[in-house]
Structures are given as structure tokens and as C-alpha cells.
């Protein structure tokens, strides 16, 4: 955001909203443990009861509701059943279903100072909708970034990554008469608090359906079980992902988003 004509900075020199952000989507996701009956069969009783309460609360702010239909004999867990938009295709979107709750936004709206309270507000609605404490399996915060590239050949992709990311990719081999069809780099780390961080770079298509290099930063926790736990974890998780975003790319590449 801009305050008095000066871009507001977060700690470590991060700009709270990059004017030319590569962000495609940011996603908070909460997964519940699978609900089963006495015979071990999957059931959705708790969700069916809670959904009506949640629906009544959230439609005060998210008035456009989209329902995803599934054949009654097919049980998929978790699955998104309802999407709540402020208006038709107007981000952000809140999604719920048996075993899952997400809050999603894009670069158009995204600022952490807005996204963080949006998560907590709707998480509280979810908690209030259930008659018993949520049986949380894990939570995650995920950022998808992409930059379109000129050319789709393997050499161009490697040159782009080596120029703009703080890593070096070298293929000391070649395959005769072959073209690289896919690029996928994955790294996983465990933090001292037990959270796991996943960082990946792939090639693919941007939201404008153009050839792009896409990188994903995701942090997960299986220890946050209460509203307070999640609130505290989110603050820490955002700090980790913000630092990682800047540290994994070169200074010049970061400056191109300002």
C-alpha cells in the first residue's frame, strides 16, 4: 500500500503489496480428520449440521454461493462443496466441504494485513458452526507465483531460472533429438516448531495461459489445533514464506516486481 506517497515496507525490506507482483494465488487451507461411523465408514454428519449455521453467518459478507454437486453414491473426503464469493467471480473466495476449509485470494487484492484477518474471521465462523471442537489434521499457507517467459525450450527455461533464482541448474548430459517437456524442482524442510516448508519450481502456464515458470512456497503444520494456535502459527508462517520469497530470488528479479 502507499502511505504519504511512500511504499509501506514490512520487516526485512519487504513491500506489503508489490505493484508488479508475480502472485497468482494465495491459499489458506485447513483439513479435518476423516469422520467415520462405528463401522469405519466415511460419514458427513457433523458437516451437514454445521453447514447451515456457517452459510447463514458468511452470506452476510459473501453473498454469491456456488454449490459443487457430486453423485450421492460417491464419497470423496475431503472435498469442496460450497464456494462463497462477495459477488460473481469476485475474489477472495471462501470454500468449505466435508473435511476442508479454504480462504483464497489473488494478487489484485492481496495484502497480508487484509488476508490474515479474513482468514481468522471466517475460521471463527467455521468453529462456531460446529457443536464440538474441530478435529484438525493439518493447516497450510501456500503461495503460487508465476512469471511468463519468451520461448519454451529447455535451454531458455534453465537460463531463466539460473538468472533469477539463487540456485544453479546444470544438465551435464543431453538426450539426442529430444525436447524437455517438463521441469519440476522440489525441496522440503522441517522447521524447529515441527512445521514443514515445501519449495518447488515448475514450468507451466500462467493465468493468462502463457508459457511460464511457476514457483510455489507452502508451509504446513499438524500441531495447530485451536483458534489461538492457528492465529499464532499464521503470523509465524507468513514471516517464513515472506523471507523465503525474497531469499530464493535474486535482488534484480525482486526489484522487477516493485
Distance (Å, whole) CA 136 – CA 140: 12
Res 15: pLDDT: 61
Q: What is the mean pLDDT of residues 87-93?
A: 93
CB 258 within 8 A of CB 19: yes
pLDDT band at 14 (very low <50, low <70, confident <90, very high): low
Mean pLDDT of the region 207-218:
91
pLDDT above 70: percentage of residues in the chain: 91
pLDDT of residue 44: 80
Give the pLDDT confidence score for residue 245 in this predicted structure: 95
Q: Nearest CA to 46 among 137, 129, 138?
A: 129
Phi-psi region of 98 (alpha: psi -120 to 50; beta: other; left: phi over 0): beta
The mean-pLDDT minimum among 38-42, 78-82, 89-93, 96-100 falls in 38-42
* Local confidence band at 11 (pLDDT 50, 70, 90 cut-offs): very low
Supply the mean pLDDT for the chain. Answer: 88
CA contacts within 13 A on the Cβ side of 247: 9
Per-residue confidence (pLDDT) for residue 117, from 0 to 100? 97
The Cα 171–Cα 155 span in angstroms is 10
* Average pLDDT for 29-58: 89
E strand intervals along the chain: 2-3, 6-7, 23-32, 64-67, 82-85, 93-97, 100-105, 136-148, 184-190, 196-205, 211-221
Rounded to an integer, the average pLDDT of 176-185 is 80
Residue 10 confidence (pLDDT):
42
Instruction: State the pTM of this model.
Output: 0.89
Closest of 200, 221, 192, 186 to residue 146, by C-alpha: 200
Dist. CA 237–CA 119, nearest whole Å: 13
> Of the given ranges (57-71, 101-115, 126-140), which has the lowest mean pLDDT?
57-71
Q: Give residue 151's pLDDT.
A: 65
Amino acid at each position: 500500500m502507499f502511505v504519504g506517497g511512500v511504499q509501506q515496507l514490512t520487516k526485512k525490506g519487504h513491500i506489503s503489496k508489490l505493484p508488479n507482483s508475480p502472485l497468482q494465488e494465495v491459499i489458506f487451507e485447513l483439513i479435518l480428520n476423516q469422520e467415520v461411523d462405528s463401522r469405519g465408514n466415511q460419514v458427513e454428519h457433523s458437516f451437514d449440521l454445521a453447514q447451515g449455521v456457517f452459510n447463514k453467518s458468511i452470506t452476510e459478507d459473501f453473498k454469491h454461493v456456488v454449490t459443487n454437486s457430486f453423485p450421492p453414491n460417491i464419497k470423496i473426503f475431503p472435498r469442496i462443496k460450497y464456494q462463497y464469493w462477495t459477488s460473481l467471480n469476485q475474489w477472495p473466495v471462501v470454500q468449505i466441504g466435508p473435511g476442508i476449509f479454504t480462504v483464497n485470494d489473488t494478487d489484485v487484492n492481496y495484502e497480508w494485513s487484509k488476508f490474515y484477518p479474513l482468514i481468522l474471521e471466517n475460521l471463527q465462523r467455521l468453529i462456531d458452526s460446529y457443536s464440538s471442537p474441530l478435529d484438525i489434521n493439518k493447516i497450510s499457507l501456500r503461495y503460487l507465483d508465476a512469471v511468463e517467459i519468451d520461448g519454451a525450450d529447455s535451454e531458455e527455461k534453465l537460463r531463466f531460472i539460473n538468472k533469477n533464482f539463487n540456485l544453479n541448474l546444470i544438465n551435464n548430459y543431453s538426450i539426442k533429438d529430444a525436447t524437455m517437456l517438463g521441469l519440476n524442482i522440489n525441496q522440503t524442510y522441517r522447521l524447529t516448531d515441527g512445521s514443514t516448508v515445501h519449495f518447488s519450481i515448475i514450468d507451466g502456464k500462467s493465468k493468462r495461459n502463457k508459457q511460464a515458470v511457476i514457483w510455489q512456497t507452502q508451509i504446513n503444520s499438524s500441531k495447530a489445533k485451536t483458534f489461538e494456535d492457528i492465529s499464532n502459527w499464521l503470523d509465524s508462517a507468513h514471516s517464513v514464506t515472506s523471507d523465503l520469497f525474497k531469499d530464493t530470488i535474486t535482488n534484480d528479479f525482486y526489484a522487477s516486481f516493485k
